[in-house]
Structure formats: structure tokens, C-alpha cells
Homo-oligomer: A and B are copies of this chain.
Amino acid sequence: MDKQLLEQLTPEEQKLLLDVLFTQHYALELISCELADIENGNKQVEEERYKQLMHLYYRIREETM
């Protein structure tokens, strides 16, 4: 259900969501939750997605330190 919902949002709504994600300082926490789900086996993803998430995590963490 959720992926369809994301596609239904306008680019402006998607941008607003991303903006709130950063103003609430929750981007890093969000990625950590996803990585934790993957690493403890609760979620199976493609290797490529896992690498993208790790890359994004370190990129944001570096920028916010």
C-alpha cells in the first residue's frame, strides 16, 4: 500500500515530506531503523539497496557532524 501512496504524492508534497524529515532531524534515525531491520533479518532487500542505504547513512552523518 505505502509504495503506491508515495507515487500518488505530487513532487511538491514529496519535497515537503523530505523537508520536514530534515527539519525534524529524523533522516539519520530513519535510515538506522531500516538498516537495523535488514541486519537483524526482519527485512530482506537486494544487496544494492543495502549498499545505497549504507552510503546514504554515512553521507548524511558526515554532513551533520
Residues of A within 8 A of B (CB): 1-3, 5-6, 8-9, 12-14, 16-27, 30-31, 33-34, 49, 52-53, 56, 59-60, 63-64
Contact = CB atoms under 8 A, between A and B. Distances in A.
Contact of A24 (B3, B18, B33): B33
A23 B35 CA distance: 12
A52 B13 CA distance: 8
How many monomers of this chain does the complex have? 2
B6 A19 contact: yes
Contacts of A17: 18, 21, 27, 30-31, 56
Given A1-B64, A9-B56, A16-B49, 18 more contacts: A2-B23, A2-B25, A5-B22, A5-B63, A5-B64, A6-B19, A12-B52, A14-B14, A16-B53, A16-B56, A17-B18, A17-B27, A17-B56, A21-B30, A24-B30, A26-B26, A26-B30, A26-B33
